[in-house]
């Protein structure tokens, strides 16, 4: 799951994407693998009274996907807030993607299980991510943000509990392997910024307008004399935002970014940041 932890819903259920492995195509009467082998599946794990598989979704070609190493387990899952569909029904959704570059949306109340002929999940979006996924998405203001490997960071609007198959915006930069796991900072539902790390040497921290990813607010190569350089890149680095600072891990330490002192940023001006502290072993 590209360094991502399990996603949890309000009931304490965990959602994970697991890697290639054995999947039992002989099912029980309730539709579960007969020997309990859930290789390459999107799994809901109940935690009440001990861990147990409560539901799952597996692609119709799960066995061949495992055999060719195009499994779901390279990406992380996200649980969305409750959404209302066009018929007024409240939907409880989760999303994941992996090496086959499909964006899979599942209904957490009925994930779809396995069918040999066709996928039975809530939505299956193809051709939109631009590459295999080795990351997890972010969600903000009815928008899903994905950074697939070798592709641009992309925003997908969500309306009536359906994820758009067409992106509303994308970043100017493409993110090489393994793509990027974005993080969001905001003032409530306002002033959203999407932060993403580019795996280069040195690594690059990017900040984009959450309403339009084509508008880059800042990146760590803009300052003169490499002021904001913070070390080599690595796989699965995700920015963390807390108390007005952005923290970025590297193989050798952690960099903390903050606003330049005495230089307030107007609402529509580019960000003006610097490294305020770096630590190494």
Nearest to 140 by CA among 129, 151, 128, 153: 153
**CA angle at 216 for the pair 183 and 191, rounded to the nearest 5°:** 60
CB atoms within 10 A of CB 157: 15
Coil, helix or strand at residue 103: strand
Q: Which structure tokens are listed for 256?
A: 């903390």
**Among 129, 161, 193, residue at a domain's last position:** 161
Task: Say if 195 falls within a structural domain.
Answer: yes
Specify the pLDDT at position 269. 46
Length of the chain: 281
Note the pLDDT of residue 226: 86
The answer to the question of residue 31 being in a domain is yes
Bridge-based pairing state of the strands 190-198 and 204-209: antiparallel
Kindly state whether residues 150 and 37 are assigned to the same domain.
yes
On whether both 96 and 235 belong to a single domain, the answer is no
Give 102's DSSP letter: -
**Which of 109, 106, 86 is CA-nearest to residue 95?**
106
CB-based burial of residue 107 (10 Å sphere; 0-12 exposed, 13-18 middle, 19+ buried)? middle
- Is 167 within the bounds of a domain? no
Same domain membership, residue 193 and residue 155? no
d(CA 141, CA 118): 32
174: in domain: no
pLDDT at position 275, please? 57
pLDDT of residue 277: 47
Residue 271: its pLDDT value, please?
A: 55
Asked if residue 83 belongs to a domain, the reply is yes
Burial 160-191 (b: 16+ CB within 10 A, else e): ebbbeeebebbbebbbeebbbbbbbbeeeeee
Tell me: do 109 and 237 sit in the same domain: no
Q: Flag whether 169 is in a domain.
A: no
Within a domain: residue 136? yes
* Tens-level pLDDT at each residue, the chain (281 residues): 988 999 999 999 999 999 999 999 999 999 999 999 999 999 999 999 899 999 999 999 999 999 999 999 999 999 999 999 999 999 999 999 999 999 999 999 999 999 999 999 999 999 999 999 999 999 999 999 999 999 999 999 999 999 999 999 999 999 999 999 999 999 999 999 999 999 998 999 999 999 999 999 999 999 888 889 998 999 999 999 998 899 999 888 899 999 877 555 544 444 556 555 444 43
61 in the same domain as 142: yes
Residue 137 Cα distances to 95, 143, 166, 173, angstroms: 8, 10, 16, 17
Please tell me the predicted confidence (pLDDT) of residue 253. Answer: 87
Range of the domain at 242: 182-281
In whole angstroms, give the CA distance from residue 54 to residue 43.
8
132 lies in the same domain as 8:
yes
Do residue 65 and residue 105 come from a single domain?
yes
Round to whole Å and give the CA distance between 144 and 182.
10
Q: Count the neighbouring beta carbons within 10 Å of the beta carbon of residue 221.
A: 15
Assess whether 12 and 82 both reside in one domain: yes
Burial of residue 90 (number of CB atoms within 10 Å: 0-12, 13-18, 19+): exposed
- Note whether 214 and 275 are same-domain residues: yes
| DSSP for residue 177 | T
One domain, residues 116 and 242: no
Asked, for residue 170, whether it belongs to a domain, the answer is no
Judgement on whether residues 56 and 106 belong to the same structural domain of the protein: yes
- Residues 64, 19 share a domain: yes
CA distances from 9 to 44, 81, 146 (A): 10, 9, 20
Domain count, the chain: 2
């Amino acid at each position: 799951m590209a360094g991502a932890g399990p996603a949890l819903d309000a009931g304490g259920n965990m959602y994970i994407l697991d890697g290639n492995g054995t999947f039992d195509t002989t099912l029980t009467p309730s539709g579960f693998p007969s020997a309990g082998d859930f290789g390459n599946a999107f799994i809901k794990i109940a935690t009440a009274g001990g861990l147990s598989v409560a539901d799952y979704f597996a692609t119709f070609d799960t066995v061949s996907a495992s055999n060719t190493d195009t499994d779901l387990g390279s990406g992380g899952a996200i649980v969305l807030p409750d959404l209302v569909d066009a018929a007024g029904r409240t939907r409880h959704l989760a999303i994941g993607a992996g090496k086959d570059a499909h964006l899979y949306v599942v209904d957490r109340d009925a994930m779809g299980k396995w069918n040999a002929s066709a996928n039975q999940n809530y939505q299956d979006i193809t051709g939109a991510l631009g590459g295999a996924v080795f990351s997890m998405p972010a969600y903000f203001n009815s928008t899903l943000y994905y950074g697939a490997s070798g592709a641009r960071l992309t925003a997908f609007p969500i309306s009536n509990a359906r994820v758009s198959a067409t992106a509303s915006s994308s970043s100017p930069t493409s993110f090489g392997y393994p793509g990027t796991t974005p993080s969001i900072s905001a003032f409530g539902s306002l002033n959203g910024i999407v932060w993403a790390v580019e795996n280069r040497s040195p690594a690059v921290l990017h900040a984009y307008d959450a309403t339009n990813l084509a508008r880059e607010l800042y990146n760590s190569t803009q300052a003169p004399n490499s002021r904001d350089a913070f070390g080599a890149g690595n796989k699965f680095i995700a920015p963390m935002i807390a108390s007005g600072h952005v923290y970025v891990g590297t193989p050798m330490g952690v960099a903390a970014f903050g606003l330049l002192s005495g230089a307030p940023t107007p609402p529509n001006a580019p960000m003006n940041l610097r490294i305020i502290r770096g630590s190494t072993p």
